[in-house]
Structure formats: structure tokens, C-alpha cells
Amino acid sequence: MTDKFILDACCGGKSFWFDKNHPNTIYLDKRNESHKLNYERNKQNIVISPDIVADFTNMPFDDKSFRLVVFDPPHAKFNKNSIMYKKYGTLDDNWKETLRLGFKECFRILEDNGILVFKWAESRIKLSEILELTQYDPLFGHKTTKTNHWVLFIKN
């Protein structure tokens, strides 16, 4: 796996990837499923097809395995029959601990001086609450929509 130096730790449908099969990337998600939506205003196929099925709180990689990790976890708790769940997954009742463990795992598998790109939709939970769950301070970030934030960390 030496050519695979990028990890998407919860890839979902790989919606923001230009190349959904980038040759240097491993796509991980705890779901491997597809859904055909046939609602009047929303007709689409949702495919979650990771290279590895695993939970981002306990990833099957050695310490310092990746130069770049992308972390875009679910942003809220959704009903399992909802479109939002089918597209993005859901947080559990212990979401703070889940995200704390997720950050810890992302930094564990990240090389020294490696980069973590974190995406958060501030629809229900403030970004400031989420940033309290990691031991690293963000390097910089950018709010791209009313709710979406991209934050970059460096492990040093």
C-alpha cells in the first residue's frame, strides 16, 4: 500500500471527490450500501462503496500510515429512513465521544507533519464544539457556505 498515502476516513458517496477512484487514496466507510431515491423532487442513486469497510473510531491501519487524511463525518443525527441518513450517515447518541475517537484515530494514522482536512456542516452542532474534541489546533479553515466549513490541521 505504499502508493496509497491518502485516506478518506468516512467516504460515503465520495461526493466532493473529482476522481472518485483516485489511485493514491484508500476510501473507508462503515457502510457498504446503495439506495435508489425516487422522490418527486429527488431522484438519484446513492452508492457507498468503500475500499475498506470499517469504523473511523477504530481503523485497521498502523500508526503514521498516511500523509493526508480526509475526515468528513456525519454532522447530525438522522432517522435511518431519511434521505440525509442514506446520503451522509448519522451521528449516534454519544456523538462527542465518537468524534473525539475519530479525531484521535485520524491523528494516530497520520504521519508526523501530515495533513488532516476536516469538513463540518454546522447545521445543528457548532464547529467550535467540534474543535474542542481534538488535541490539535487547526492551522486554518474556510466557511464555504452558510453552514459548511473546511478546516486544515497539521500533525506536529
Phi and psi at residue 86, to the nearest 5°? -60, -35
Distance CA 46, CA 41 (A): 15
Distance CA 103, CA 67 (A): 15
Quick one: what percent of the chain has pLDDT higher than 70?
A: 96
Q: In a 10 Å sphere around its CB, with 0-12 CB exposed, 13-18 middle and 19+ buried, how is residue 49 labelled?
A: middle
Instruction: Specify the range with the lowest mean pLDDT, choosing from 49-53, 75-79, 106-110, 133-137.
Output: 75-79
Which domains does the chain possess? 6-154 (3.40.50.150)
Long-range contacts of 124-128 (CB under 8 A, 24+ apart): 124/75, 124/76, 125/75, 125/76, 125/95, 127/151
What separation in angstroms does the CA of 123 have from each of 103, 127, 135? 20, 10, 23
pTM reported for the whole predicted model: 0.92
Average pLDDT, the chain: 93
Whole-number pLDDT of residue 17: 96
Whole-number pLDDT of residue 138: 97
Quick one: what percent of the chain has pLDDT higher than 90?
A: 80
Averaged pLDDT, 135-140: 96
Q: Residue 50: pLDDT above 70?
A: yes
Please write the tens of the pLDDT for every residue from 83-133. 888 888 999 999 999 999 999 999 999 999 999 999 999 989 999 999 999
The 3-state DSSP class for residue 41 equals: coil
The better pLDDT of the pair 59, 88 is held by: 59
CB-based contact 114:154 (threshold 8 Å): yes
Distance CA 36, CA 79 (A): 17
What separation in angstroms does the CA of 130 have from each of 58, 86, 115? 19, 23, 18
Instruction: Specify the range with the lowest mean pLDDT, choosing from 36-40, 56-60, 116-120.
Output: 36-40
Whole-number pLDDT of residue 42: 66
